[in-house]
Structures are given as C-alpha cells and as structure tokens.
Amino acid sequence: MRLRRLIESIAPKPRGASVEVWPWTVRAFHWALVLAVLVAGITGFLGGMTTLALHLIAGAAISALIVLRVAIGLFGRGYARFDSFPPSKQAALEHLDDIRFGRHERHLGHNPLGALMVYAMLAVLLAIVLTGTAALAGMFKQGPFRSFIGFDAGWLIYGLHQPLAWLLMIMVAAHLWGVWFEGKRGQENLVAAMIHGRKAAEPPAPPPPTRRAHPLLAAASGIGAVAVATLVVYRASTGPVAGLPPAKLDATYAEQCGACHTPYSPVLAPAAVWRQMMGDLRHHFGEDASLGDAKLHQRILDYLVANSAEHSDTLLAHRMMQRDPTDPMRITATRFWRFMHWGIPARVFASKQVGGRSNCSACHQDARSGRFLPENIHIPEQVE
C-alpha cells in the first residue's frame, strides 16, 4: 500500500477520465530494461575485468527482455502490440511536418517517430548482445558461441561492441529528449504514463488495434523462447572446446617448476621463450634452477613446447606471444601483463598475502589452468 502511495506521489494519475495505454507487461519490460542497460553500461564503460561477471548477467537479462518484448509485441494487447505502431517512414515524415507547423495530433501509444526509435533501440540492443557474446567466445572461450568463434573473429567483432554501445547511449539521449519534447508539446506527463500506464481520455485519439490479445500465447511463447534459449546457451556453454590450455598442469612439471614459485601454465609464453629459458636453467633469474636429470629436462621442455601460447586461442595466449624484446623471459614484462595490472598499487603486490607480481595464483584462482578468467580474480583482502 505504501509503495502504491509512493508511486502515486511520483507519478500522479491524470485527473478526470483516463484510459489504460501501457499494460503492466510493457511497463515492467521498460523499467527492467532501464535497470539492465544501466548496469551493463556502468560495468562496461567504467568497470574492469572484475565487473565482467555482472556485465554478462546484465547482458543475459537484456537478451531475455528482448525476447519477452517480441512476444508481447506479437500477442499482447492494445498499444503494446507491434501492429499498433508499425514502422512507417511516411508517418514519421508527417509527424515531423506536424512538429514543424505547430500542429499536434495526439498519439496515445508510440508516436511514429517514437515507434522508429523503439525498433532501432531494440535492434541495436540485439546487436550489442550478439557482438558481446561473440567477443566473449573469441577472447575467453566462454558462452554459447565459444566452440565456433575463434580469437581473430571474436576480436574483430569486439571492435563493434563498444561503438554500438555509444550509439545506444546517443539513442537513449534522443529518446529522453523526445519524451520531454512530446510531453511538453502535448501537455502530458509521459514518464508518469510509463509508470502507472494511464493517460487522460481527452482529447480523443485513434484507438489501439482491436485485434484480440492472446495473453496465454504471449506468456507461453515468451517464457518458452527464453527457456529454450537458456537451455541451448547452457548446453553450448559447457562441455569440451578447442583452443584452451591444458586444464590441469602435468604433475611432474608442477612439482619441478613449482618448487620456488607458482608453476606457470605453459600458455604464458611462446615455444621459443620456453626453449630459451630451458636452455639456461643454471642462470634462471639469479637462481640455479637446473634439473640435473637430462631425461626429466627433456620431458619438461617437450611439455612446455607442446602446450605453449601457440597452441591456445584465447586472448591471453595471443597476447603472450608478444614479448618485450629487452626482457623476453618475463611474463610480467609483457605489454599485455603491464596493461592489465597498471591500476594495482605496488604495495598490493609487495604485501605478504600476494608475495610479488609473479605470484599469479595469489589473485587468479584459476592460474594453474591457464584460463585466467575474469570471474576468478580475487585480490586477497587486507593486504598490508
């Protein structure tokens, strides 16, 4: 009851007779979409790798909302239906003329320009979700496209993801301006109408299409499509996939090369670097790391070369091929490593809990698998 009163004070209903314009389905969709786009935008534009998980959840929510909106648009009622606001260049031009000559024809549902914007925003949102999913597959081998989008394609498509997001921001700004402008022109509180769903009955406006609504069909098709899509996405997101480093380190390797520091996944350097490093273990970063046994030495070298960066297709693998020529042996000297970690203060690395830049597994729980997935990053708390 309190909530209802609060809503009424924010969005007063029109005085006098009113008609329902936006059914609850459209209003719920609209505000859920606003929330999801806000979360996706903030985590995407301002967040780093550690907010990617939330970004993906927002993206999944947006995808589900698009599907539900299509079901409502096809089988819902009144002004929710797509056939109540068909995309029409002719109508949009006439509406522009109305504005130009100061005429005002009332539209209870979307006006012809608003309608075009709704379709355009849905299309751009869909493109953002698809390019993001493709990028995720190419760079991290995650998500439903992971078995058929390689790194190169994923990276290329990723180049579209952010420009599309900027385009959406511009469209949102235009949409907000349109709501303000049309509200002022028609002396109507359009934001309030999207909250309580009603507009004044007067002056009269063309009625919505009389085609019968099929609420059951809308619910069944919308929820069914989301459920099927979730299953397909789940199936496609699990199970084996090519282009990944070995999930588990070879036990002998982990024992021998993990004696002084965390055993590094072979994906962290190209074969040439492993060969060079193994060629002089006696002078290994100021330590003598020689293995003594020639057979053991050969076995570890073979293991590193067989699983080196060349053999994986992730973002990390591709970036680890690019070494700093003045310090080619170090993972932590690569441009990519420095770029990914520049924001972390030196005292965090120096802390007892972390124990140095090279101690990847202090912050990356999946360091041994060579995945380094953003969702597995946890800087130890209370670093001193």
Tell me which residues touch ligand HEC (CB under 6 A): 48-50, 256-257, 259-261, 264, 268, 281, 284-285, 287, 289, 300, 316, 330-332, 340-341, 344, 348-349, 354, 356-360, 362-364, 372-374, 377, 379
Q: How far is the CB of 340 from ligand HEC (least distance, A)?
A: 4
Instruction: Choose between 39 and 289: whose C-beta lies nearer to ligand HEC.
Output: 289
Between CA 75 and CA 71 the distance in angstroms is: 6
- Give the nearest distance from C-beta 7 to ligand HEC in angstroms: 38
Those residues with Cβ within 8 angstroms of residue 227's Cβ, 6 or more apart along the chain or in another chain: none
Q: How many whole angstroms separate alpha carbon 256 and alpha carbon 263?
A: 8
State which residue, 237 or 332, has the beta carbon closest to ligand HEC.
332
Query: What is the smallest separation between the CB atom of 323 and ligand HEC, expressed in angstroms?
Result: 11
Q: At its nearest, how many Å lie between ligand HEC and the CB of residue 288?
A: 6
Which own/partner contact pairs does 200-206 have at CB distance under 8 Å and 24+ positions apart? Answer: 200/14, 200/15, 200/16, 200/17, 200/18, 200/19, 201/16, 201/17, 201/18, 201/19, 202/16, 202/17, 203/106, 204/106, 205/106, 205/107, 205/108, 206/107, 206/108
Between residues 89 and 248, which has the closer beta carbon with respect to ligand HEC? Answer: 248
Report CA-CA distances (Å) from 83 to 28, 33, 87, 95, 209.
Answer: 20, 21, 9, 18, 7
Nearer to ligand HEC, 125 or 317 (CB): 317
In the complex, minimum distance from the CB of residue 378 to ligand HEC, in angstroms, rounded to a whole number: 8
Q: How far is the CB of 363 from ligand HEC (least distance, A)?
A: 3
Q: How far is the CB of 382 from ligand HEC (least distance, A)?
A: 13
CA distance 109 to 157: 36
Which is closer to ligand HEC, CB of 26 or CB of 289? 289
* Residue number, 48 or 215, with CB nearest to ligand HEC: 48
Closest residue to ligand HEC, judged by C-beta, is: 48
Distance CA 384, CA 375 (A): 24
One-letter amino acid at 10 equals I
Of 240 and 279, CB closest to ligand HEC: 279
Quick one: 29 or 303, whose CB is closer to ligand HEC?
Answer: 303
Please, what is the minimum distance in Å from the beta carbon of residue 277 to ligand HEC?
A: 6
Contact 21, 193 (CB under 8 A): yes
Cα distance between residue 138 and residue 153, in whole Å? 7
Structure token digits, residue 21: 């314009």
Q: Choose among 366, 379, 267, 257: nearest CA to 317.
A: 267
